[in-house]
Amino acid sequence: MEKRRVVVIGGGLGGLSVAIRLAAAGRQVTVCERGPSFGGKMNVWEEKGFRFDTGPSLITMPWIFGELFEAAGRKIEDYLEVIPVNPISEYIYPDGTRFTYTSSLPDWIETVRRLEPRDVDGFMRFMKLGAQLYEVSKDTFLRRRPLDWPRRTDGSVLRHMPWRYGWGNYHRTVEAHFKSPHLIQLYDRYPTYVGSSPYSSPATLAVIPYIEYSFGGWYIAGGLYRIVESFVELARELGVELATGANVTSIDHSQGRVNGVRLEDGKTIKADLVVMNGDASHAPALLGLRDEEIGHADRSMSGLVFLLGIGKTLPEMHHHAIYFSGDYKREFGELFDQRVFPSDPTVYVNAPSRSDRSVVPGQGEALFIMANAPANDNDEWGEEQIAEARRRVFRRLRESGFPDLENDIVVEDVWTPRKIGNRYSMPGGAIYGTHSHGWKKAFLRPSNKDRRFNGLYYVGGSTHPGGGTPTVLLSSQITSELIQRYEP
């Protein structure tokens, strides 16, 4: 029987992983990526012996990456070295308080007790809440299309449902578990993992700190871009055709069924199935329908990233460190209500060279420094705006005791929301598509199968179950299962 041909629009993590799954299931797959390299937001910048990940810096739920290799009859350990990072992070506050968030429960409980003895119980209850949410979602929301028919076993997972806190507001739920302002700010940070504000997100996002604490934070030897390199290698082994510089400008269709794509250079590729890995909001325009770009108010946050190659080695630094702002509520008000870069941003400093010396040229450190930024179209991010934002980022770092490294910078690059948006074709540079504010936004993301056109499917962070690397891989599993079910 002739193989059914699939074209995947976009070679991000979602596109590559769905291509691997479909090729392993016997389909003939072509991936068209508009950019110069694969990986989408998981990308790399190399200069003078420094190697920087320009996107993700932390992996959770590593077994989901392993499942992808297993689907192709391979073992992850033959391709990648997955390394646990402990402590998970260092937290630094403007009042001088600093501590490490360690995976060692006895050590962490001791830190919590020092901060606020009553919060030991609060931490245990908060983790139990996250565990319950995880039990409810792990085989339902995370593994299936939204609003799919419930299975007979689904009723039994409801026994885990945390009815008291399951439907509330995230920040208020954190406050109901912790008294220490330091711990409240720490746990309030987690909705930013999906580009959202703790003050507007549902309490169900408490599953994120649970997943990170229980299953750990992970790193890949050589940098996270090794994941992309290994996916490309695996896809090639399975016979996937991979093209960069292949910008898809339209999806062809007739009588309600897609039948191929057209590229910017005029080339057409005939296909029985099309999977969209680019932002789902661009699909209507590619189909020749009215564009349904996500409006400003619905977008998740973007980020401002400085990549610094430092000539000096900094042994006192941790792999991950968070320098909190003085007023978190004001920061999120600026990001989501005023839609401006924060006057006092919380700054994340990632130093993979603390765990892996292969990313630096002998001496020195490779630093990824990031602050949250609004996903606006009208922000030009010209030289002056970058310089002002850089001043604010480094003022926060300096005031919190970060060493002055200005004279030790060997290489530097900056990724603004505009650059992120242009490079990956993301409205305003919104990293996670729509934000997760409110129950509906968090749980009813665009479906993995198009409702109007047969043969058209979606994969990646802008579709179900949402953004973040393991979730994107889960979406590839959901999408490929739907394809096997509806397009045998």
Ligand X SMILES: Cc1cc2nc3c(=O)[nH]c(=O)nc-3n(C[C@H](O)[C@H](O)[C@H](O)COP(=O)(O)OP(=O)(O)OC[C@H]3O[C@@H](n4cnc5c(N)ncnc54)[C@H](O)[C@@H]3O)c2cc1C
Span from 72-80, 199-207, 231-239, 417-425 in contact with ligand X (CB under 6 A): 417-425
C-alpha 129/C-alpha 373 separation (Å) is 30
On whether the CB atoms of residues 355 and 383 are closer than 8 A, the answer is no
Closer to ligand X by Cβ: residue 13 or 359: 13
Among the listed residues 6, 7, 19, 56, the single contact to ligand X using CB under 6 A? 56
Interaction of residue 202 with ligand X, rule CB under 6 A: no
Q: In the range 452-481, which residues lie near ligand X by CB under 6 A?
A: 460-461, 467-469, 472
Span from 12-20, 175-183, 293-301, 307-315 in contact with ligand X (CB under 6 A): 12-20
C-alpha 73/C-alpha 88 separation (Å) is 32
Interaction of residue 58 with ligand X, rule CB under 6 A: yes
What does DSSP say about strands 347-350 and 365-373: parallel, antiparallel, or unpaired?
A: antiparallel
Q: How many CB atoms lie within 10 A of CB 4?
A: 17
Measure Cα distances from 392 to 146, 252, 259, 401, 412 in Å.
41, 47, 50, 14, 17
C-alpha 345/C-alpha 95 separation (Å) is 15
Interaction of residue 31 with ligand X, rule CB under 6 A: no
Span from 7-15, 110-118, 356-364, 401-409 in contact with ligand X (CB under 6 A): 7-15
Among the listed residues 198, 217, 303, 364, the single contact to ligand X using CB under 6 A? 303
Among the listed residues 20, 22, 27, 33, the single contact to ligand X using CB under 6 A? 33
Interaction of residue 421 with ligand X, rule CB under 6 A: no
Q: What does DSSP assign to residue 71? A: H
Interaction of residue 371 with ligand X, rule CB under 6 A: no
Q: How many CB atoms lie within 10 A of CB 114?
A: 11
Among the listed residues 196, 201, 204, 277, the single contact to ligand X using CB under 6 A? 277
Interaction of residue 446 with ligand X, rule CB under 6 A: no
What does DSSP say about strands 273-276 and 456-458: parallel, antiparallel, or unpaired?
A: parallel
Q: Would you call 258 helix, strand, or coil by DSSP?
A: strand
Q: How far is the CB of 429 from ligand X (least distance, A)?
A: 8
Span from 36-44, 132-140, 152-160, 320-328 in contact with ligand X (CB under 6 A): 36-44
On whether the CB atoms of residues 259 and 271 are closer than 8 A, the answer is yes
Burial label for 267, CB within 10 Å (0-12, 13-18, 19+), is exposed
Interaction of residue 353 with ligand X, rule CB under 6 A: no
Interaction of residue 9 with ligand X, rule CB under 6 A: yes
Q: How far is the CB of 488 from ligand X (least distance, A)?
A: 26
DSSP 274-325: EEE-S-GGGHHHHTTS---PPPGGGB--EEEEEEEEESS--TT--SEEEE--
Q: How far is the CB of 195 from ligand X (least distance, A)?
A: 8
Interaction of residue 248 with ligand X, rule CB under 6 A: yes
Q: Which residues make up the interface to ligand X (CB under 6 A)?
A: 9-15, 32-35, 40-42, 55-58, 247-248, 277-278, 303, 305, 420, 424-425, 431, 460-461, 467-469, 472
